[in-house]
Amino acid sequence: MNEIILRAENVGKRFGGFTALSGIELEVRAGERLGLIGPNGSGKSTFTNCLAGAFTSHDGAFTFKGQPLAGLTSHQRARRGLARTFQLPRPFRGLTVIENIRVPLAYGGRQPATDDAAMACLEAVELAGKATRLPKELTQVELRRLELARATALQPALLIADEAMAGLSHTEVDQILALLFRLNASGTTVIMIEHVMRAVTEFSQRLAVLVAGRKVADGAPADVLAMPEVEEAYLGR
Ligand SMILES: Nc1ncnc2c1ncn2[C@@H]1O[C@H](COP(=O)(O)OP(=O)(O)O)[C@@H](O)[C@H]1O
Ligand SMILES: [Mg+2]
């Protein structure tokens, strides 16, 4: 088995008096495809934000590639190989599509920020034809593909895709799914946060389930989905 690339220990996050995450323990192995699911408001994006450094967690610790992440900014975490996509795409609005890719290419420093390298990233998400457009000229699915291309331009060791498929058609979901499979095949560990169950079950080798800020299940997808408490919480039955 591969080494553990990410370890979360007792991670907790409060917003004022509200506990959004509590006692989260999670281990992810290098190369793994993990699905992170749970009802709306269960803490999935909060977990992502704590891991990526957008929020400071109140309790616990993250270890990434054997190093503690405490005290590192989100940019420093990105440079160490931790990339995430935002649930709502966040391109640089004033930059063209290709310029949006050159920024993380330059920042990640793993490959030269040339037009060729940027175009290769865009080709991987079928956006090469839109290279000189502005983000406002893109459709919703194109914006999501740009968001993924921006994350993958960092050549991350770990990518967390936060609801990259929300609101997309069947075909568009398949395109994003194929993209994430390709990325994983090239060595990137992927955590997929997703409500599109068809996609998450096809993709995930393992499922972890959050409910009201706690991890209630973690294991083989078939076993996890068969747990009555998961069915009840997740499907609202
Ligand atoms: N910045 C914030 N300030 C206050 N409450 C927040 C903030 N972000 C998330 N929350 C709350 O934390 C809970 C978990 O939210 P979130 O992590 O976005 O859930 P999920 O991604 O699983 O839908 C929700 O109740 C949400 O309202
Ligand atoms: Mg969310």
Below-70 pLDDT ranges, the chain: 234-237
DSSP secondary structure of 90-150: ---TTS-HHHHHHHHHHHH-SS---HHHHHHHHHHTT-GGGTTS-GGGS-HHHHHHHHHHH
How far apart are the C-alpha atoms of 206 and 219, rounded to whole Å? Answer: 5
Q: Give me the pLDDT at residue 146, please.
A: 95
**Ligand minimally distant from the alpha carbon of residue 36:** 1
Q: And the tokens for 163?
A: 């609801």
Q: Give me the pLDDT at residue 224, please.
A: 95
Q: What is the pLDDT of residues 33-65, one digit of tens each?
A: 999 999 999 999 999 999 999 998 889 999 999
Q: And the tokens for 104?
A: 């993380």
Q: Give me the pLDDT at residue 237, please.
A: 47
Please tell me whether residue 168 adopts helix, strand or coil conformation.
coil
Q: What does the angle CA 216 – CA 70 – CA 191 come to, to the nearest 5 degrees?
A: 45
CA of 44 to the centre of ligand 1 (A): 8
CA of 115 to the centre of ligand 1 (A): 38
